[in-house]
Structure 1
Amino acid sequence: MTLNLQSILHEAKEMEQEIVNFRRIFHENPELGLEEHVTSDKVMEELKQLNLDEVIKIGTKESVIEELSLLNETIKDTHGPTGVLGVIKGQAGPGPTVLLRADMDALVVNESTDEDHIPYSKGFSSKNDRVMHACGHDAHTAMLLGAAKILSKFKDKLSGTIKFIFQPDEERGCGAKIMCKEGIMEDVDAVFGIHVWKTVDSGKVMIHQGPTMASVDNFWININGGGGHSSSPHETKDPILASSEMVNSIYRMHDRELNSVNASLVTVEQIESKADWGVIPSSAQLRGTIRTFSESDRNYIIKRMTDLCNVTSQFHNLECSFESLNVFPPLNNNREMAILAQDTVSDLLGEEKIETGDPIMSGEDFSYYLKESPGAFIFLGNYNEDKGIIHPHHNPKFDIDEDILHKGTALYISLALKFLNNQ
């Protein structure tokens, strides 16, 4: 059989029910990041039945502990290496290497038990209390598994190497970092990822040339003064007043000092301070997020927030410290790879299925792969009002239009082949 785009779509359609079944198995058994043991074992089991050159677990207990420690996370016995790598080496001749990525982790969400929620009414909703696939990673894993199964049948027709990475812990931002540190990107010439997306109509595909998703930094501002009686504020160093002024200063700095043409965002998400009636507290903490699409804007915001802390400390005669943690770098699609992806979608599904859109303020750890090799991150539309699939990501009623799954599988395959054949 010839490996052209229409035959690929036909092959994916032929195994549609198997891909749907994979998705339902993963949906029913969701696991949190770096605890995806059942999921990765299932992926390993399926890949080992194929004509692949390599199927291995990726990561070590030490690398997992190292990344979680950076986030001050409690290390659990269930945390461990759960990444899975499959490799096909084409037999038709040498060529470049392309990597296809899917993420496997779920979220701390209680899945809906409403009868109009399809996974519940059809009997494949989450078996695990307060854990749910509410972002589509079950679909990504199923689609890529389908792609590996189809491509393994045509190994003799492939020139070059295709890697399949089933990655843990995207939500917390540790997974891709661990995969990269383990060396999976060392020989990769291009990398592609797909995410089902809430705001794009089912079956359409959104691709950005350039800025795609924002960097994410979490920040903490700790303010320590000297508390006292509420009736005698002149005898205290009031962290509440300092906190209020700090919030206003942050927003004023962002709105007046950064070029509004370049999208960025600073949000104070929480102000925490505890005291009883009649007491001015001794301390307060501000927590929030910084989102940008450029490293220069990100660096400027962090520097200026540090400056504002120093000014606040001097003006109010108290201690004010700033800390930040970079969770994701900005995700910027390589323009050449984005154009290749658009051409692929046009040839596979039709030019009318391509959408463009504004960059997205959410973050994604796929950005770590793009720091290593050129590539593109692509959004497969999942919004279907007729089926009631209208709920946003991370919502208890989030669901997948299963009619798009075989198209996602075909898109993974086509992206790999388009890149290998163009080199």
Structure 2
Amino acid sequence: MQTQVNQMIAALGDKLIARRRDLHRHPESGWTEFRTSSIIAKTLIDIGYEVKLGEQIICRESMMGVPTEEELQAHMERAISQGADPDLVKQMAGGLTGVVGELKCGAGPLLVLRFDIDANDISEATDEKHLPYREGFNSINPKVMHACGHDGHVSIGLAVAEILYKLKQQLNGTIRLVFQPGEEGVRGAGPMVDAGVLEGADYILGGHIGFQATKTGMLICSTDKFLATTKFDVTFTGVPAHAGGAPEKGRNALLAASCAALNLHAIPRHGQGASRMTVGTLQAGQGRNVIPPNALLKAESRGETSEIDDFMFASAKQVIAGAAQMYGVDFDIKLMGKTKSGQSSPEMMARVKRVAEQIDFFDPEQIIENTEMRGSEDYSHMMTVVQEHGGQGTYFMIGSDLAAGHHDFYFDFDEKSLAAGVELIVNCVLDLLA
């Protein structure tokens, strides 16, 4: 069977790269992945998968950090102008992007394969030292770039889908492919989980090109210590007044926000594990002689466990309310993203390692059992939910030489890692379901 798999991967080699480059040229950020989702859905339908879209896979009430209706409409129109299927795009109205494809192969366990699909809000480099620019597949969408490799993840996922369909008669169980929107900002996993896309899952596999696997031929089989996180925006609303003639009539939103920013960083660190609090943006005021009536603060908490993150966010809400009360202003807290902490299942790590040791691409000396994330990735939300219901999961990292770090405008990866990713995932599926 391995010879058959290798032949199918080799036959898809040019398509893998071409699809990745097309997606790289047309990046879309969270909740605007209309063209990307259209391509995924159409491809899966043509292969023979049962495909779900829109409110079948996204719980609208759980969505966070959604662009305005005007912005979403503009992105839908752009996607159609760039080749998206209008009928498919229509089903995603309101930002309900993402795709789930299911392949039933008889009795057996349910395996979920998750692939993230969104891009970053970054302007891509445009000079000759950047290979995508040099080769003509750099982003044509302003201020958006695939700077984290998710274009590669989609390409891998669709190739995996094609190969598994051809192997259907040799599998026992169900394969559910989850192409998740809004990973950046940890926005997409929760609404998909709340819509039921993980119901019945026995296993879940997910991974990433690069990250800590920064050399081609390297593989990290599992990841622990995903930090739970809560992203939130706070709007303070005061009362304007003449700064010289009637300052006593004003209510200073800038001072309230500044007080909150300082004291958010004064929240005690947690004794049961790592904790974080960061105020990343503070915007306020209208003019030098006006008591500032408005302020916007953008912040995030993180915790080594979901309980620690919950403690940090609860403390943040107390600080914000206190600062607003001190200065007599109103405030509103809006959640922009949230995900759980996570740990990979040792049993799944062992499976991935055993499979990888049979793949020539991976250097036996560079197959590493485990690493610690020490950051956030909302795959951990999905993996933890599966584990809470008795299932197993792991998050691997596929080694690749990188032109620059993730989220850098010079980011690019070694495209040889695409075929290796396909081979790894297909063989893990065979190990579980064949």
> What is the CA-CA distance between 1:213 and the residue it aligns to?
4.4
TM-aligned CA distance change 1:375 to 1:129, over 3 Å: same
**One-letter amino acid matched to 1:272:** Q
**Aligned counterpart, 2:35:** 38
For 1:170 and 1:145, the matched residues in 2 are separated by 18
- 1:262 aligned residue (273, 281, 290): 273
- 2:23 aligned residue (18, 23, 26): 26
Deviations, residues 49-92 of structure 1 (Å, cap 9, x unaligned): 43x4x332322399576455x5463123325344333333336x
**Aligned counterpart, 2:397:** 379
Q: Is the 8 A contact 2:353 2:367 kept in 1?
A: yes
**Aligned counterpart, 1:306:** 317
> What is the CA-CA distance between 1:265 and the residue it aligns to?
1.2
TM-aligned CA distance change 1:198 to 1:270, over 3 Å: same
Query: Is 1:338 aligned to 2:349, yes or no?
Result: yes
- 1:188 aligned residue (183, 201, 217): 201
Matched residue of 1:418: which SS? helix
**Aligned counterpart, 1:59:** 54
- After TM superposition, the structure 1 = structure 2 runs for residues 241-252 of structure 1, keeping only pairs within 5 Å, are 241-252=255-266
Q: Is the 8 A contact 2:59 2:194 kept in 1?
A: no
More strand by share: 1
- 2:226 aligned residue (212, 227, 230): 212
For 1:347 and 1:230, the matched residues in 2 are separated by 76
Matched residue of 2:265: which SS? helix
> What is the CA-CA distance between 1:313 and the residue it aligns to?
4.7
TM-aligned CA distance change 1:346 to 1:97, over 3 Å: same
Q: Is the 8 A contact 1:191 1:370 kept in 2?
A: no
Q: Is the 8 A contact 2:228 2:302 kept in 1?
A: yes
> What is the CA-CA distance between 1:248 and the residue it aligns to?
2.8
**One-letter amino acid matched to 1:318:** G
Matched residue of 1:162: which SS? strand
> What is the CA-CA distance between 1:131 and the residue it aligns to?
3.1
**One-letter amino acid matched to 2:105:** G
Q: Is the 8 A contact 1:59 1:182 kept in 2?
A: no
Matched residue of 1:115: which SS? coil
**Aligned counterpart, 1:419:** 432
- 2:174 aligned residue (161, 164, 172): 161
Query: Is 1:73 aligned to 2:85, yes or no?
Result: no
> What is the CA-CA distance between 1:225 and the residue it aligns to?
6.4
Give TM-score, length-normalised by structure 2. 0.80
The alignment of Structure 1 onto Structure 2 pairs a total of residues equal to: 404
- After TM superposition, the structure 1 = structure 2 runs for residues 8-407 of structure 1, keeping only pairs within 5 Å, are 8=5, 11-50=8-47, 52=48, 54-60=49-55, 66=61, 70-71=64-65, 73-75=67-69, 76-77=72-73, 78=76, 80=93, 81-90=96-105, 94-171=107-184, 173-201=186-214, 202-220=216-234, 222=236, 224=238, 229=243, 238-253=252-267, 256-259=268-271, 262-313=273-324, 316=326, 318-319=328-329, 321=331, 323-325=333-335, 327-335=337-345, 336-348=347-359, 349=362, 351-355=364-368, 356-365=370-379, 367-368=381-382, 370-373=384-387, 374-382=392-400, 384=401, 389-407=402-420
For 2:310 and 2:189, the matched residues in 1 are separated by 22
Q: Is the 8 A contact 1:225 1:318 kept in 2?
A: no
Matched residue of 1:60: which SS? helix
**Aligned counterpart, 2:83:** none
Deviations, residues 272-302 of structure 1 (Å, cap 9, x unaligned): 2214334442443432111223122122112
Q: Is the 8 A contact 1:102 1:141 kept in 2?
A: yes
TM-aligned CA distance change 1:250 to 1:145, over 3 Å: same
Q: Is the 8 A contact 1:214 1:362 kept in 2?
A: yes
Unpaired stretches in structure 2, ≥5 consecutive residues: 77-91
Report % sequence identity.
Answer: 26
**One-letter amino acid matched to 2:319:** L
For 1:292 and 1:317, the matched residues in 2 are separated by 30
Unpaired stretches in structure 1, ≥5 consecutive residues: none
> What is the CA-CA distance between 1:114 and the residue it aligns to?
0.7
After TM superposition, the structure 1 stretch with the greater mean CA deviation from structure 2, 217-226 or 106-115, is 217-226
After TM superposition, the structure 1 stretch with the greater mean CA deviation from structure 2, 373-382 or 143-152, is 373-382
Q: Is the 8 A contact 1:227 1:238 kept in 2?
A: no
Q: Is the 8 A contact 2:236 2:257 kept in 1?
A: no
Deviations, residues 342-399 of structure 1 (Å, cap 9, x unaligned): 44334433542333433232332552353245322222233x2xxxx33222332221
Deviations, residues 14-63 of structure 1 (Å, cap 9, x unaligned): 5322211221222223234444343333334433443x4x3323223995
**One-letter amino acid matched to 1:23:** R
Matched residue of 1:46: which SS? helix
**One-letter amino acid matched to 1:16:** G
Matched residue of 1:212: which SS? coil
Cα RMSD for the two superposed structures: 3.2
